[in-house]
Structure formats: structure tokens, C-alpha cells
Amino acid sequence: LISGNFITGELPISFAKLTNLLDFRIDGNPITGKIPDFIQNWSRVNRIDMQGTSMYGPIPSSISSLRNLTELRICDLSGPIINFPPLQNAEHLIELVLRNCSISGDIPFYMGSMRYLKVIDLSFNKLTDSSFFINCGGPNRVVGGKEYLDDSSQIGTSTFRADRSGRWAYSSTGDFIANQDANYIVTNTSTLNMVYPDLYKDARLAPISLKYYGLCLLNGDYLVGLHFAEIMFTADKTYSSLGRRLFDVLIQGERVLKDFNIEDEAGGPGRAIVMNFTTRVTSNTLEIHLYWAGKGTNAIPERGGVYGPLISAISVTLSKMYIQGNVCTHISSYPETAVTIICCLLLDIGSKIDGGENGFPVGAILGIVGACLLFTCISVYLYTKGSFCRLQGSKKACHSHGPQGRSNYYFSIEQIEMATNGFDTANKIGEGGFGPVYKGRLEDGTLVAVKRLSSNSNQGNREFLNEIGMISSLHHPNLVKLFGCCVEENQLLLIYEYMQNNSLGRALFGSNYCLLAPYIVGHKEHRLKLDWSTRYAICLGVAKGLAYLHEESTLKIVHRDIKATNILLDENLNPKISDFGLAKLYEKENTHISTRVAGTVGYMAPEYATRGYLTDKADVYSFGVVVLEIVTGKSNTNYVPDEKFLHLLDWAFLLLGKGRLIELVDPNMSLDYPEDEALRLLNVALLCTNSSPTQRPTMSIVVNMLTGETAVPTPVKPPSGSEDWIVGALRKLSSDSQPQSATLHNSPNDTVISLHEDEMAAFYPSTSGSLH
């Protein structure tokens, strides 16, 4: 065991005599030379660690003699391209890491019989796994970086054909009624208005039965994508538009689609739709069966040759490999676990490290790597707790939501381009500090919001990674769900659940706030009519979400940018806190964190806005402002009843002193609201916005106040003049628009700032003794 000792040179030939060696670890040493053949002499060795050396390959075939191996780790070998090393005799392997070892070809089938194998890392190799892609009825085409194989041969009645690669085959059964000369391949002749039209130009047709087989597959869970487009019927209201194609789809003998109508599902002829299913392969063979049960039309627009199952393309990708009942992540293939996500991120971002015009700077790369390491730890923890999806052989179409329900967390740029129709401007639904936001529909029909980093984004890479690291570790009904991310082709994308009712800001204040919704913007011009019970429920939901962030989640988090436009509303008007780009980790044992100021003027707590003094009570203050806006229906920053008042909050404290607090209730709301509940909410809002953070309640206490479990104390109006210096500082922040001192996000309605330490000192120089 000589790990990490800076030992140089080659392995001495005398090591060949270590016939009783049990454990050999040279990782972390700049040892050079070829991996020697004499390792075959170590017949009793259990563990070999060779990662982090300067040795080169190939891995010698004599490694097959090591029958007692339980752990083998070899990484970053230079040298020739090699096939998978012969490990069939190492039947007791528990962990196998062969990362970046220039391995190509297939993973051998004997790997599936290794009953003890728990960890397998084959990333950064050139393996050809069990995934395959077929362009049904068409020639070879490369689409979305995947090669869809040729399937253009004209076959007739009751024909079976295996692809020359031996990886897949198909069969067709039956004659077309009244047209024995009909083609079994159809080609579209008009323009197809869709992403990747070449993939849908041709399609294979069958009169009764069409089967595709995946052959010699590794046993495991697969994602099967069936690509359809109705290219034989028209949408011009002629006779050719009257046809109806109905057929069934079975995968592994189980019916997954019944009376499937491509045109209806896709929304018309000439439109693409992809139906995704998960299935399990247990005997190395996959069967996809499309079957016509005699339904629909069979003579429109002509007799024969126009009915029966029709399919444009098939994609089959391995998501999990099974080793004698144990689930092993097949890292070299498609991203499934957190480790794979990080591999994909580093692969894509690493290629941009040159810092060129279209690349990411080296500093950003180092930040990404650090965030990825944190994200990996978070995600692995969640995975072991069952938060991430573990497919159990279900053949149902994927319609689940969130990373804990979806099979993929990392999305390809092709998937997102297809979902948003190539980032079509018609799908653009908003613009935030991060960049434009698009509505999209994934292949399984799930609606999503795609947050895209703009080239001149003020939030940038730090917030992108911060959001991934934070929100991926959080799961609560009142937090927005992150489906995944994409880092490809100089793109940074975040994919979220789609929220049908926009943001709370737009619901309260109208269309002037539509551009502020960070993920969702609707198209209605007017604000929503929120009744009292809905407003109260929104306040309670936001309070519960913040209590989870501050006190209940494993990671204690300060959001730093709670405001009405960062609270989204789902179809039932349930609130969900969003936009974690500015969030900070916070530990209770720290009295506070001193950090650069970032947030929105009008919502920031005074001690944070002026001194960078951050605790979870900063979120409590912001929550109080939001509650005040919900009750009054007015914006804290835009409603100024008198020039003497900076914000709505100042006006509220004045009315508190005069005993007229109830006058703040939104006059546009019906008068049948419970006055005691209105006063409860207003008092909670003013308690939360106390100028002293120690006097503000915790969010768990706020929840108890709103549910009636804890009495609500009467807030006290601040003594006259006690906050003059704070108001003066906030006035300066509100009016300061110089680029070098304030970074503006979102829109002119909200001023979101990001100040550095030297600028904070201008407001309040004392920040000593704080944790940086």
C-alpha cells in the first residue's frame, strides 16, 4: 500500500515474485510504464488500485488469471484502443472502475452474471452498449447526435429480416386488402414543419402486424421511444383528410397503447409525436409489436395500402443494467444517477475550457467542478434515500414529474430543442435575470418551463450551478420542482415543472409583472381575482416552504430573494417558491453570514441590505413584505401613497399607529372576508418586518400563528426616527442605477441588486467577526 507517495519510475520486475500479494494500491503516484503481464502471478490478490498514475495500456489479457479479485480500479490509461478486458473469472467482483481506459466495443455478457457486483464505472470510454436507433422505412440518418440505422428495404408478405449488425430485426405479416402491390414503406412529399423532419420523411407500414426485435441485449431497464407522424393523410379538408388509422402497441407482450391514433395524439397530420415507455429486458431480447385489429378506415384515400400500423423511428436506450438481481449503473451510457450527471456536465463543459469566444472561462470551470462535487454528494444521499427514480420494470409511458419521478435528470440539447420547437419565439413565455424562458413539451407529453442562460446574463454560471445544487436537494410541496438540466453547445439550461397560473406577482399586480415571472408567464392581460381563502392559503403555503428551507430540510438554506414574482402558482393556485439562484447555505451554529448583497430592493431586510448581515431572518422579513402585498393587492415598491413614504410598508406602520390597520385590505376584494383573519395576517406581516432581526419570529412560529396554534402578538410601531439611516440607505439603493455598483435583473418594476463588499462598506463599514 503506497498510495499518494509521489513514487516515480516503473513497477520493478521483482514485483512478479509477490505471489502471496492480497492488496496492491499505487493510486496517486506518478508511476510510469506499461501495466506488466506479471500481474498474473498475483493469483491471491483481492484489490488493485491503479488510478491517478501515469501508466499506459493496454490492460494485459493475463488479468484473466486473477480469480480472487473483489475490487479493481484502473483509470486514465493512455495507449491503444482495446476491447473490454477478460474478467470472466473474477466472479467475486464487488466494485469495478475502468474509467477512461480507451476501451471500445461491447460490454461482455458475462458481466450480467456477476452476482456480487455493486459498482461499475465505465465512463469516458468508447463502449457500444445495448442502445440502438432505427430509421423505420428510411436510410441511415444522424439525428440529435444519434445514428438512426437504415431500414429502407422493401419487404412483402410475412417477411423476417435481421439487420447485418445482428443487434435488431423486424418482421411484417399480412396482405393489404384489395392491393397486393402496395408499398410497405411510405414517403412524405410535402414540407414537414417539425424539428428533425428528415426522421419523419419515411415510415414503415404493415397491413396487420409489424414487429421489431432488439437482439443480444444486456438485461436491464430500457427507455423505448416510438416516433410517429401521420404522413399519409392530409389536413386540407379533402377526401384524403378523412382517413383514420387505429392500431395497438405491445412491448414485451404487454399492451401499452390501444386504438392508438397518430393524428389525434400529435394534433394533426404531418406532426411528430414520440411515445416513451420504460420496459425491462430479462432474457436479452426486446420485442416491440404494432398490431392492426381491423379498426379505422382501410380505403381512404385509396383502397389498400393506407391502413395498419405506421412508425417513423425507434430509439432504445439502456438506463440500468442488472447484475444477478442487483442494479448497477451503466455510467458509460445514458445519465441516470447523480454521478452520471456530473460526468456529462464535465464532458460538455470540459471541452469549452479553452476560454474562447464561445467557451466558458477557466474560473467558471473550476467553480462548476466544485459545485458538481457538492451536487454529487447531495444527489447520492438522495438516491440512497429513494428520492431518485428506480425503475421497476414498468412499461407505462413516462408521465411522472420531478427528478424523483423521471428516469432522466440530464437532458440533451436535442430533447430540449424538440420540446421547445427549436426555441421558437412563439414558445417564449418570459424573460428573467437568468435569460429567456420557454414553454416546452417533452416527448412523454410533460409540459415544462426551460430556463435558458443568455449570453449577457447578470446571474451567470454561479447562479446556474447554485440553483442545481440547492433545488435538487429539496423536495417540498411548496417548492418548485427541478426536472433536470442541460449543458451542451455553449448552452446552460434548467428544466422545471410548468406552472399554469404564472407568478403571484402577476396574479396580484397584473400584466406589468409578466416579464418578472422567472419560469412562467401567461398570456392574460389582467390580474387574477383571488378571494380571501386563496390569499390566506398562499400565505400559509409560502410560510411552510420557508420553514422547510430554514428548519426542516437536511441543508439549511436562506433563499435571499423571496418576492411575489418568485412565488409561482400551479393550476390549483398552490404556491411554490422558485428561483434559488441566490440561495445560501446557512448553519444555525453560525451567528450570521457576511456576504455580498444580492436581492430585490423593497424586499431585503435592512441589516442585510446595508451591512450584508445574513441570517434566515432576512427571508422572514421578505415574507412579511409578501404577506403585506397579498393582503393589500399592492406592490411594496410601486405603491407610494405619499412622497414621505418609501414603501407600502412605511404606510402600514403609520396605519398601525393610528389603529386603522384594517384599511390596508385590498378594496377590490369582496367584503365578506373574516376581519380577524385579515388582522392576523397584517400583524404577522409587521412582526416579520421588524427592523431588528432578533425580534422577528421564526418561520415555524409563523406557520403556527397562521394555523391558529400560536397567538399573534400585537406589533409595535418603530420609534420615530429610529430607522432614518436605514431608509436613507434604501433610498440610495433604490435610486442607484450605475452599472458598476448595482446589477439589475428582471425588469424595471423590480430592482435586483448585487453589491460587493467595498460597496457595502459605503453603507455600513463594520463587518468584522463575520463568517465569509
| Residues designated as active site | 561
Cβ burial 756-769 (10 Å sphere, 16+ → b, else e): eeebbeebbeebee
Residue 275 has, within 13 A of its CA and on its CB side, a CA count of: 22
How far apart are alpha carbons 415 and 683 in whole angstroms? 48
Is-contact 225 275, C-beta < 8 A? yes
Show Cβ contacts of residue 748 under 8 Å, excluding neighbours closer than 6 positions. none
Q: Is 719 helix (H, G, I), strand (E, B) or coil?
A: coil
Strand extents, DSSP E, 559-703? 567-569, 575-577, 584-585, 593-594, 597-600, 613-614
How far apart are alpha carbons 281 and 291 in whole angstroms? 21
Could you tell me the strand order of the sheet in which 23-25 lies? 23-25, 47-49, 71-75, 95-99, 119-121
How far apart are alpha carbons 503 and 524 in whole angstroms? 12
How far apart are alpha carbons 388 and 278 in whole angstroms? 15
Beta strands 613-614 and 593-594 are: antiparallel
Q: Which of 714, 715, 718, 696 has the alpha carbon at shortest distance from 543?
A: 696
How far apart are alpha carbons 370 and 516 in whole angstroms? 30
How far apart are alpha carbons 316 and 303 in whole angstroms? 34
Is-contact 564 505, C-beta < 8 A? yes
How far apart are alpha carbons 438 and 423 in whole angstroms? 7
Residue with cell 389603529: 659
Beta strands 436-441 and 159-162 are: unpaired
Is-contact 483 476, C-beta < 8 A? no
Strand extents, DSSP E, 216-285? 220-229, 247-251, 254-260, 272-281
How far apart are alpha carbons 275 and 116 in whole angstroms? 35
Reply yes or no: is the peptide bond before residue 301 cis, omega within 30 of 0.
yes
How far apart are alpha carbons 702 and 620 in whole angstroms? 9
Q: Which of 609, 630, 520 has the alpha carbon at shortest distance from 561?
A: 609
Calculate the alpha carbon distances from 377 to 362, 373, 383, 384, 472 in Å. Answer: 23, 6, 10, 11, 11
Q: Is 359 helix (H, G, I), strand (E, B) or coil?
A: coil
How far apart are alpha carbons 687 and 193 in whole angstroms? 57
Is-contact 72 27, C-beta < 8 A? no
Burial environment of residue 643 by CB neighbours within 10 A (0 to 12, 13 to 18, 19 or more): exposed
How far apart are alpha carbons 243 and 382 in whole angstroms? 50
Residue 721 has, within 13 A of its CA and on its CB side, a CA count of: 0
How far apart are alpha carbons 320 and 278 in whole angstroms? 11
Helices (H) and strands (E) in the chain, counts: 14, 36
Grid cell, residue 287, equals 420485442
Residue with cell 422547510: 548
Calculate the alpha carbon distances from 260 to 17, 255, 291 in Å. Answer: 68, 11, 10
